[in-house]
């Protein structure tokens, strides 16, 4: 039997419908804004999340980086979780390339940040401090086990940000999974943030790409950052075509992934020696208690 690769939802292959769309996609030069398939993808993505505009980018990491660079100036501070993907797995790009300081707050088990800690983390006007500019959220939350926060939580964070003149960026790599798990429309989250990114190449199963969404003026700034980062892809409609199929066919099927994850977790729980965290969406995390070896005696140097 052919093995099933369950390492990640990033190892999926494009469906036959995606391959067909890719082979037939009308293309142009997207750097000039002339690729009709990319333009269609961007319009569809913006419409689905309830934002004015969207931009196709090669990866979620670039989408997050370009968005944060568009929100912040050098020396500004962003508040984010200590287990967030942007902090852990994006090579420190916001600091390396943007000169942006990160203030890491403790992620709660569901991936959220406590409002009380956001309040405490807020910088004052003292010139010794980097000015607070942005809050970054993540939904679903990767390192917290695919957990998701509620629209009500997003509304609370939006109220906090509004009171203090902050912007909110959402790393929504798997935001459609969060919507499916809670049986809400993705706009239930998106309406409370200033910008968001989501990945086409994870649960939605397209081969390449992510989308950054926000106001038209914001997306113009993100477009400039994409250029700076080398993200112009010319006849990218060949790739964007698969993204269109993903958005049209996959969000409604994510509940199937969640159900399969729960069924697999239940079977794995029957395996002696495995500790299984019940999946909130499409991720299963396993661990096995291993007895620690006895400490070695230190040898005296002669």
pLDDT tens sequence across 225-278: 999 999 999 999 999 999 999 999 999 999 999 999 999 999 999 999 999 999
Element (H, E) at 52: none
Cα atoms in the Cβ-side hemisphere of radius 13 Å centred on 298 = 3
Residue with tokens 């300081």: 101
| Residues of the chain where predicted confidence (pLDDT) is lower than 70 | 290-302
Tokens of 271: 């395996």
Q: What is the DSSP string of 67-105?
A: HHHHH--TT-EEEEETT-HHHHHSTTHHHHTT--EEEEE
Up-side HSE of residue 132: CA atoms within 13 Å toward CB? 24
Would you state the pLDDT for residue 290?
Answer: 67
13 burial level (CB within 10 Å; 0-12, 13-18, 19+): exposed
Q: Which domains does the chain have, with CATH numbers?
A: 16-252 (3.40.640.10), 255-286 (no CATH)
Read off the tokens for 50. 């309830």
pTM assigned to the model: 0.94
What pLDDT score does 17 carry? 98
> Given the DSSP bridges, would you call strands 285-287 and 101-105 parallel, antiparallel or unpaired?
unpaired
**pLDDT confidence of residue 219:** 98
Strands (E) located in the chain? 53-57, 77-81, 101-105, 132-138, 167-171, 195-199, 210-214, 275-277, 285-287
The token pair at 37 is: 């398939």
What's the pLDDT tens digit per position in 123-156? 988 999 999 999 999 999 999 999 999 999 999 9
How many C-beta atoms surround the C-beta of residue 156 within 10 A?
16
């Amino acid at each position: 039997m052919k093995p099933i690769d369950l390492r990640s939802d990033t190892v999926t292959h494009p469906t036959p419908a995606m391959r067909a769309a890719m082979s037939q996609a009308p293309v142009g030069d997207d750097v000039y804004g002339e690729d009709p398939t990319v333009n269609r993808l961007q319009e569809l993505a913006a419409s689905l999340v309830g934002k004015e505009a969207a931009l196709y980018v090669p990866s979620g990491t670039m989408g997050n980086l370009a968005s944060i660079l568009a929100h912040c100036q050098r020396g500004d501070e962003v508040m984010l979780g200590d287990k967030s993907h942007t902090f852990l797995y994006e090579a420190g790009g916001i600091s390396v390339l943007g000169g942006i300081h990160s203030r890491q707050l403790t992620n709660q088990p569901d991936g959220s940040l406590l409002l009380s800690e956001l309040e405490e983390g807020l910088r004052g006007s003292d010139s010794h401090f980097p000015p607070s500019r942005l809050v970054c959220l993540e939904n679903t939350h990767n390192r917290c086990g695919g957990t998701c926060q509620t629209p009500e939580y997003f509304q609370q964070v939006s109220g906090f940000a509004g009171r203090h003149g902050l912007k909110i960026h959402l790393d929504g790599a798997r935001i459609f999974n969060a919507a499916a798990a809670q049986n809400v429309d993705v706009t239930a989250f998106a309406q409370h943030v200033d910008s968001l990114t989501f990945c086409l190449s994870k649960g939605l199963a397209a081969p390449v790409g992510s989308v950054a969404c926000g106001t038209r003026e914001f997306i113009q700034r993100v477009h400039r950052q994409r250029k700076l980062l080398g993200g112009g892809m010319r006849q990218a409609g060949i790739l964007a075509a698969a993204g269109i199929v993903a958005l049209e066919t996959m969000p409604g099927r994510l509940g199937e992934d969640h159900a399969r994850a729960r069924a697999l977790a239940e079977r794995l729980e029957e395996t002696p020696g495995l500790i299984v965290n019940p999946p909130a969406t499409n991720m299963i995390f396993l661990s096995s208690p291993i007895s620690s070896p006895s400490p070695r005696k230190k040898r005296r140097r002669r």
